[in-house]
Structure 1
Amino acid sequence: MDNSITVLEKNPFNPFKNLKILNLSSNSITCIENGIFQDLKKLTSLNLGWNQITYVHGELFEGLSRLEELFLRKTHMTAIENGSFKGLKNLHRLFLDLNELTFINKAMLEGLQNLEELSFWENKITSIEVDSFSELFMLTSLDLSSNSITEIYEETFRGLPNIKTIALSINKLHSFAPETFRNLSSLEYLGLKRNSFSSLDMNLFEDLKNLKNFYVSDTPIGTLSSNEFKKLTSLTQLRFSFCQINSIDEKAFESLTNLKALILFNNFITSIAPNTFKGLSDLKLLYFNNNPLTYISPDAFDDNVDLNNLMIATDAQFPCCSRVALYRRFGTDLMMNEECQYFGKLRSYSDALEELLHNCADQTV
């Protein structure tokens, strides 16, 4: 690591045949001969990140049949020869972040049947071949965020029975085909923030019965209708920010009995009507900052919600009558803070917010 190495010549690792971890990151490597790692039969981890390897040749990783993780972050990579990874039958994690790749195809990922984690974060990808991931049967995490993807086909995620995380945030997606997320019953996290949607049909996600964390932003949603999320019964965190939401229908969240955090900051919500949060008996946090909110009905909440552990964060200025009504419901007055008002008998506002932001961080997603 960081030894100013520029070229790896033939057989440099011959004396190290029992080596299991090799870190060559942060050098100036521009050229690696094919088969250079073939003596490292026991190698399980290889890091070539932060070098100048612009092209991955087909036989570069020959002989690394025990390799479990491969780091190729920020190598200025522009292309990967088809079949380059086909001998890596035990590879579980492949990181191709911070490169210059412009497309993904099936041949590029050939032979990775045991891959569990795949990341293309922050490349220049504009297109994905229809069946690119169709043989990645064991894949659980796929990060495609921070690219320039404009379209996802119906078949793009077919053949991923174990996928739990899909990150598509910060792309140029404008729509989804009707069955894009069909049969992804294992999916737990879906990140769609900062794309180019003009609208979002919630029926697209009705098969995602195990989805726990759903993150959308910069999409003009407008109104959250009654039973909008009726099929997403496993949700624990729902985040709709910068979505131009101006109204929430009664019982919009009624089926979300497992929801713990509802984040709706930077919208146009002015009031919360009775029964808005009906069914949210496990709710711990509502985050309403940067809304023109002037009224929250004391009857907005589910009768079974634990008011001793419910926190509502908002920077709104409530009229006195609203504060009195909320006081009667919660048994405590609004408490003031430099940035927020919050109420509910919560032990530590800062700790809860820190946990929320950690769980909903802008890292994926």
Structure 2
Amino acid sequence: MAEPFRNLINTDTVALAAQHLQRAWPLFDAVAFARQASDGLDGLDMKARAMQIATALQAHLPANFGDAASVIEAALAPPGNADSQGDDLGQLRAGPHGLAGWVVWPLGEFVARAGQHDVPRAMAALHALTQRFSAEFAIRPFIQAAPEQVYPILHQWVNDPSAHVRRLVSEGSRPRLPWGLRLQALVADPTPSLPLLLALQDDPSLYVRRSVANHLNDIAKDHPGLVADWLHQHLPAATAARRSLLRHASRSLVKDGHAPTLSAWGLGQPLLGQAALALQASEVHLGGSLPMAVTLASTADQPQTLVVDYVVHHVKANGQTSPKVFKGWSLTLAPGETRELQRQHPVRPITSRRYFAGTHRVVLQVNGTPVAEAQFLLHV
């Protein structure tokens, strides 16, 4: 059995943190810190472990935030590397040369808690920390509380030599970062971040560009028209790298059949021809799968580029239904061609969905337009 993910932060992590913090500041009480940080650690989930270590840091680092930040920076390992394809932060760990990897999460949390009164010094500390793990969680309270101080610094960081720092500009300011504080002001109005994304969308590092794509996908959840406009503006004459970024950025909108987004990709035209959806089982038991067959027949005299998805209307506890779009196929249908497509749709328990018995509709959509439907009975 694989090691639980939460064990990436453990008592050995605490011991290494104590060792290097004491090396950086001989007055650091390594024994008392380790005792407080490790108390009941094994019984906590991962985020709770990071928060407990941060609390111990608050109790044992210098009371002056600037001094504490200097101790943390002196305890760090050499910065990680990032090339044009990705990064090595996921492999970094604390070791004899200093602190890196998952132990940096509580260090960033300490900065977020203790550095609110000195934003420039805190940002300098996060600049160092993000090159050893990531400061995407720690920077968010500063963006929320002091955007007028943080954004000028982010505008400088888009030209930083480190891809880790440039990625932090995008990842740290995502409106809906998973696990992170939701930046509600940016959910409502993402325009302060758009110049940063514009500066980074052609970054030489795939690692940075992937973050920009995820940031735009975040924005699409609340402002789909803004992202569609971005596509119409930045797709023409785009490089292959930018097209890949924009395709990833618009994945949710394409999947949802958002017409302006489909139009930007040249997918806005309805199917010229016929479509049929056949479910090859009328009843399915939870834990099984639903075999489906799709037939597309073109009546056009030109090739058609099609995105074919399907929507399952899941029955809820109250008997109503909730639609969920599933990615199907992307294809080019030749003039007069008939194409047969097959899919086994799994109907298995997952943590993000609870199944209820009843009749479920399945709607086939082509380029965002419903073209056929069928239904099956689910037994739970």
TM-score w.r.t. the length of structure 1 is 0.39
TM-score w.r.t. the length of structure 2 is 0.38
Bigger relative contact order, structure 1 or 2, given CA contacts below 8 A and separation 6+?
2
| Structure (1/2) with the larger helix percentage | 2
